[in-house]
Structures are given as structure tokens and as C-alpha cells.
Structure 1
């Protein structure tokens, strides 16, 4: 069982030819309201990869809450521990340009009121996985991690969006997930050397922190370092339409495969393929692939065994 403790948002998405510079107004498309939030995204990605998933998060008393929860409900994510706090559901205002690059402004809303005690009703234990991100108060996520690890659960921390986390707090995670830029930022924050590439930086972080560290590398795939060994997997070759949900797809599918007992290498292969597939459709949650699509893509990829 995977328990996701994290954010639930509405993504307000508008497309434009190029991202605006400071002070510039650019014409955009009609806007879309799409369910999002890194917590909800990762929960949905894990569920579509075949895992049993429960979401512990907060929404507001507004009309946006129903939209934010629609995909989770449709795919059977357990929302029994959901709480409603405050007037507004979290919202991300996203602009996507013609090259599939994006900018995001995040209004946390109810996410800022999520508490570690909200996990009391579900209490992840031995054999379970707790999946965390950085869009709810980190002190609450840290308390949740400590309780889960004490009960024997695996803790996977996705440091996105990046915030400087002290070494003592990172010790509560079994697996740390970053992208290449976040890996370099984390190394600098901890006073560690930044390598010439993602693999070198990940190996340095893993050695210093004593846990598995995984970095997504965009079109180059992903790399993991654990117990002195490094594993690299490629991405699929795709034509990107929207990269917004790729990192969350990777995190959710990685957690799903590990929770199902697969090896780290197999989990990385599935996660990298799923992340690539998610870039081929617009929006975050609508783009998340199902297990059958991931397996089909891997079967047709010559770079995968």
C-alpha cells in the first residue's frame, strides 16, 4: 500500500507561443482547469501503474475541490483520509510555450493547513510506502516521515519544488528523488561537490547521505545511486507536447513498482518510460499512462531488456 501525504491542486493552464518576460503581456489560448498538485499527481500515477494508493491531503470549501478530486475518485484512489480546511483549494497557474516548457505560480490554499496528525487514521506500517513532496509544510512531512519509518514503512521523498533541507531531516528518507538541477542545488546546499553530470552528483549525494538518491535527467532518462552502485536507464524517444507532469509521473510509478516488490532497476525502467509517455499529451493528470501502456512501450523499446 502506498500512502501519499501531499498537495492537491487545480492547475489553471494557458498556452502561448513563448513565455512572457518580466512586464510583458503575451496572447494565450483558452484556459483549462485540470486536476493537479504534486501529491495528487503522484498518487494518480501510482494508481494507474497498478498500486493500491490512499491520498492524505487537504482541499478547501470552494467549488474547485470537486474538480481537483475528480481523477483520483475516477481511478479509485482511497480518499478516506481527505480533510477540508479553509476557503480555497490550492491552485497552480501554469503557462506552457510552443516548446513544451512551462512556468508555474503556486497558491497553496488548503495545502498549507495539512497536518501530520491527519495520517493517524491510516498509519503506514511495515511493508508500506510513504510518498512525500514539498508542496505542504515540510515540518508536517518530516513528522509524517518519522512516524512512518518508526512503524517500518519505506519513505520516498521527492524534493520538488526544491527547498534547502538540512542533512538531519534527509536522514528520515529511504529514497530521495530529484531532477538534475535539484540534485546540484542539494549538493551545493550540503557543501558537497557538484559533479560534471547527474550520475556523479547523485553518487556523491548517496554516499554522503547514506540512502538511495535518484535523479531524473529529462530526455537522458534517469540515474540512481545506492550502496555504492549506480544504475542508469534511458528515456523513451518521444515528441514532447507538455512536460508538466513528467516528474510526478516518474515518482508515482517508481513508488508503485517498488511497493509491488520490483527491483530498483526495474522500477527505474518503468518510471522513466512512464515519464516519457506523459510528455506526449497535454496537461498533467490526463497524460499519466496506465500500466498496460507502460508495458507496451517498454516491450517496443530496443534499449530495454
Structure 2
């Protein structure tokens, strides 16, 4: 089982010719309303990849709350531990340009009230995985991580949005997922001179025994896990937008680990899912299913694992 503790949002997405600079207004032709939030996206991605998934989070008692849960419910994510609170449902305001790049502003709303208490009531097992992000309060993430560690399970943090997690949270992790910007921000917070994602991943794995996957966009990924290097090139796809690509990677990767697959296979499935998400607009509507992920993952070549 995968337990996702994280944010649940409604996304308002508008296409633009180019992304605005500071103080600039750029007009778009219209907008679409999609369910989103990094926690919800990753829960849906893990479920569509074949895992049993429980989502723990919070939404408001408003119409957006119902809309934010629609696809999760339809795909069979367990929503019994999603709270309804007297705050507006979280929202993300997303602009995407014709190259697929995006700018995102997130209003936390009900996500600020997310509580990890449900993990204390669950019958967690050593084979379970907790998947975390950074759109809910960090102290709540830490409490959730400690609950999973007491049960003997694994804890994965996707360091998104970028920021410096507390030392206690880093120490509670089994695996960290970062993109290029997130790796740089973390290195700066730790007082390290490294700038390249691979150098940061290698040092985290070597010095802190924290297995780290760095996603590199169109360049694929590199991971340092237990002193071994894994490098995968991304498949060539026609990019529509990159919204939820990272979430699709995290969810499918965690689902593969929960299914007992070896690390190289899990990395391939995560990369395939993230790449497929780039070929469709929106967040949750773009997240692929297992039947799509499997053939693309099988076609990816894993460079030989090399020792550190």
C-alpha cells in the first residue's frame, strides 16, 4: 500500500504565447479547470500505475472540494481520510506557454489544515510506502514520516516545491526525489558548493545515506542509491505541457517499488510515466495508466549501474 500525505487542489490553467516577466500581464484565450495538487496528483499517478493508494489530506466544504476529488474517486483512490474543513479548497493558478513550460502560483487554503493523525489509526506494515511533498505543513509531514518509520515502512519525499526541509525530516527519509532546481536549493541550504544535480545526489547518498533521484527534464534522470549510479535518458515525446510530469514520475516510481520491482525497473516506469504526462494538457487528466507506462518503460535503456 502507498499512503500519500499531501495537498489537494483545483487547478486553473490558461495557455499563453509566452510566460510573463515581473510586473507584466500576458493575455490567454481562456482557461480550464482541473483537479490537481501535488499530493492528489501523486496519489492518482500511483493508483493508475497499479498500486493500492490511500490519500490523507484536506479540502474545503466548497464546490471546488468536490471537483478536486472527482478523478481520485473515479480511479479508486481511498479518500476516507480526506478531511473537510472550514477553509477554501487549495488552488493553483497555472500558465503554460507553447513550448510546454509553466509558471505556477499555489494558494494553500485547506491544505494548511492537513493532519497526519490518520496514519496512527492505520494498520501500517513494513512493505508500505509513505509519499510526501512540500505543499502541506512540514511538521505534519514529519509526524507522518515518523508514524511510517515506526511501522517499519519506507518514506519518500519529493522536494517540491523547492525548499530546505528540516534536518529531522531529512533524517526520516529513505529516498529523496528532486529536480534540477530543487537539488540546487537543497545544496545551498546545506552549505554545499555543488550545483549539478548528480553531484548533489551523489553526496546525499554517500555522506547522508539518503538515496536520491534527480530528474533532469528532457535529459532523463540520474540516481545515486546505495553507492550505485543509475542513469536513464528520456524518451523523445511531443511536449504539450510539463504540468504533473514530476508527480507522474513520483507516483509511478513509488508504485513500482511497492510492487516489489527492482530499482532500475522502478526508475524506468517512473520516467516513462513522467514523459507520457508531458504529451497531454493539464495535471490529473495527463497522468498515464499502467497499460501505457509498461511498453514505454520496456523500451528505455538503463546505462550500466556503476559503483561510487
Helix, strand or coil: the match of 2:121?
coil
How do residues 101-112 of structure 1 correspond to structure 2 at under 5 angstroms?
101-112=101-112
Is 2:32 aligned against 1:32?
yes
Task: Tell me the distance in 2 between the aligned counterparts of 1:50 and 1:28.
Answer: 36
How many residue pairs end up in the alignment? 303
Contact 2:53 2:77 in 1 (8 A): yes
Contact 1:167 1:209 in 2 (8 A): no
Contact 1:250 1:271 in 2 (8 A): yes
Query: In structure 2, what is the equivalent of residue 52 of structure 1?
Result: 52
Is 2:281 aligned against 1:282?
yes
Helix, strand or coil: the match of 1:18?
coil
Helix, strand or coil: the match of 1:80?
strand
Query: In structure 2, what is the equivalent of residue 303 of structure 1?
Result: 301
Query: In structure 2, what is the equivalent of residue 82 of structure 1?
Result: 82
Helix, strand or coil: the match of 1:44?
helix
Query: In structure 2, what is the equivalent of residue 255 of structure 1?
Result: 254
- Deviation at residue 206 of structure 1 after TM alignment: 1.4
Task: Tell me the distance in 2 between the aligned counterparts of 1:202 and 1:163.
Answer: 16
What's the RMSD between the two structures over aligned residues?
Answer: 1.4
Helix, strand or coil: the match of 2:281?
coil
Query: In structure 2, what is the equivalent of residue 71 of structure 1?
Result: 71
Task: Tell me the distance in 1 between the aligned counterparts of 2:226 and 2:87.
Answer: 46
Query: In structure 2, what is the equivalent of residue 266 of structure 1?
Result: 265
- Deviation at residue 304 of structure 1 after TM alignment: 5.8
Task: Tell me the distance in 2 between the aligned counterparts of 1:189 and 1:26.
Answer: 34
Contact 1:158 1:177 in 2 (8 A): yes
Contact 2:6 2:56 in 1 (8 A): yes
Query: In structure 2, what is the equivalent of residue 43 of structure 1?
Result: 43
Contact 2:13 2:93 in 1 (8 A): yes
Task: Tell me the distance in 2 between the aligned counterparts of 1:257 and 1:302.
Answer: 15
Contact 2:176 2:212 in 1 (8 A): yes
How do residues 179-194 of structure 1 correspond to structure 2 at under 5 angstroms?
179-194=179-194
- 1:125-180 Cα offsets, whole Å, 9 max, x none, are 31100100000000000011011101111100111001212333201000011101
Q: Unaligned regions of 5+ residues in structure 1, if any?
A: none
Task: Tell me the distance in 2 between the aligned counterparts of 1:154 and 1:298.
Answer: 24
- Deviation at residue 120 of structure 1 after TM alignment: 2.9
- Deviation at residue 290 of structure 1 after TM alignment: 0.6
- Deviation at residue 86 of structure 1 after TM alignment: 1.6
How do residues 116-155 of structure 1 correspond to structure 2 at under 5 angstroms?
116-155=116-155
Task: Tell me the distance in 1 between the aligned counterparts of 2:144 and 2:123.
Answer: 9
Contact 1:125 1:153 in 2 (8 A): yes
Contact 2:142 2:168 in 1 (8 A): no
Query: In structure 1, what is the equivalent of residue 5 of structure 2?
Result: 5
Helix, strand or coil: the match of 1:45?
helix
Greater shift after overlay, 140-149 or 181-190? 181-190
- 1:12-45 Cα offsets, whole Å, 9 max, x none, are 1011101112222222021111000000000000
- Deviation at residue 302 of structure 1 after TM alignment: 6.2
- Deviation at residue 199 of structure 1 after TM alignment: 2.0
For normalisation by structure 2, the TM-score amounts to 0.95
Helix, strand or coil: the match of 1:17?
coil
Is 2:193 aligned against 1:169?
no
How do residues 220-239 of structure 1 correspond to structure 2 at under 5 angstroms?
220-239=219-238
Contact 1:199 1:230 in 2 (8 A): no
Query: In structure 2, what is the equivalent of residue 206 of structure 1?
Result: 205
